Amino acid sequence: MSDPVAHARVTHARVLRIALPIVASNATIPLLGAVDTAVVGQIGLAAPIGAVGLGAVILASLYWIFGFLRMGTTGLAAQARGAGDGAEAAAILLRALMIAGAAGLVLIVGQWALVRAAFALAPASAEVEGLAQAYLSIRIWGAPATIALYAVTGWLIAVERTRAVLVLQLWMNGLNAGLDLWFVLGLGWGVPGVAASTLIAEWSGLALGLWLCRAGLRQVVTRAQLLARAPLARMLAVNRDIMIRSVLLQGAFTTFTFIGAGRGDVVLAANQVLLLFLEITAYALDGFAFAAEAMVGAGVGAASRPTVRRAGIVASQWGAGGALLLAAAFWLGGPWLIDLIATAPDVRAAARDYLPWVALAPVIGIAGWMLDGIFIGATWTRAMRQAMLLSVGIYLVALAFLLPAFGNHGLWAALMVLLVARAVTLGLRYPALERSVGT
């Protein structure tokens, strides 16, 4: 089955159709945790707030490991779509759902050991741990659904149905908020009520997501095609490389946090406030990187080198524009945002001191973020893994030189070095990627 949209001309309008719903969808993500915290906060006790926060962080850390399913599914499915192979695009979704189901079952079976290990790393009071245990024992049953939603989201991005991703996110967040109010404030279920509302939202979200993917799931996929050795091996290799790359990147940011913590509470707090600005940057610019993933993947599948080149250029133009707007917003509105987030005068002063680094970050980092999208769409994940390994090594060397000389400014400068290294290491491989695509 040939998809005419996959072979459509790469235009600015097409980029925006893909990107803007993702930007809107990402804007709703922080609201979910805020609603959970606000509702449980109405109980009037500290322990339930701490328990929900701790439990949510534990699960988010576990689920984050499987984020590779979103990226891997997007690249592979976009290529199958570009090649006009609807059955293979459907098979890719089904294989990803199989992986998600197996991973979710492993987490359910191993929940006791995982929770014990988490509490050992982040101990809390007996009351908080007890409530967190109750929260986790309910929410863990949503693991297969939550991980499967990575695959569903990746597939919808691949077929350029990002409005469906927005609908899915709005449905889950809206349902979760409504059930929170009913279960916690109406029925008085407390922490278990927060967990139950999220569990229902997760499974209903998966049901809606599968319905949104119904066009692909209607494709006839034989058992032999679904379990074909070569495509399965390729999917596993792509996902492995993305997971290693993501672990390396997360390790770099964790190192940044730990080093900041060693420089005192004020510096730690200021850095955490400013890292929220980087989180906003990632959410805002993801849509343009996702557009590159979908269109580059379709170009690779169609063996069209001009499509790959134009997709990367047009999506990157919008990404660069967004980065400049964010940089200006942080430079001009950063002090106000800092005051909104932090109330301590010393933290506010320190955050203002380091604010210029965060204002520079979108401009410095946009090339690396867009190249990530291009390489994911082309499934050049081994190159991504190697580039990230080299980039993190450069970052560690920069830390060794800059931190002793410039303190926390040196820490932020080293993070900028990491952003530049990501762009340079991927950029050097881009010509080979383009040459590998047809004519």
Cα separation, 372 vs 293, whole angstroms = 8
Least confident segment among 59-73, 144-158, 261-275: 261-275
Give per-residue pLDDT as tens, 1-55: 456 565 568 999 999 999 999 988 887 776 666 676 677 767 766 677 777 777 7
What local confidence, expressed as pLDDT, does residue 364 receive? 95
What local confidence, expressed as pLDDT, does residue 227 receive? 87
- Name the CA dihedral angle for 165, 171, 173, 175, rounded to a multiple of 10 degrees: -160
Give per-residue pLDDT as tens, 81-138: 999 999 999 999 999 999 999 999 999 999 888 888 877 766 667 777 788 888 889 9
Other residues' Cβ atoms within 10 Å of the Cβ of residue 212: 21
Least confident segment among 16-20, 259-263, 317-321, 396-400: 259-263
Higher pLDDT, 261 or 106: 106
Cα separation, 167 vs 208, whole angstroms = 9
Q: In whole numbers, what is the pLDDT of the chain averaged over residues?
A: 89
> What is the per-residue DSSP string for 172-216?
HHHHHHHHHIIIIIIS---HHHHHHHHHHHHHHHHHHHHHHTHHH
Region 352-372: what's the mean pLDDT? Answer: 95
Region 332-347: what's the mean pLDDT? Answer: 85
pLDDT band at 185 (very low <50, low <70, confident <90, very high): confident
Residues 6 or more apart whose CB falls under 8 angstroms from that of 333 comprise none
Q: Nearest 5 degrees, angle CA 432-CA 435-CA 438? A: 145
Q: Which of 339, 360, 378 shows the shortest CA–CA distance to 417?
A: 360
Residue 324 has pLDDT above 90, yes or no: yes
Region 375-381: what's the mean pLDDT? Answer: 96
What local confidence, expressed as pLDDT, does residue 1 receive? 46
What local confidence, expressed as pLDDT, does residue 124 receive? 67
Cα separation, 97 vs 151, whole angstroms = 6
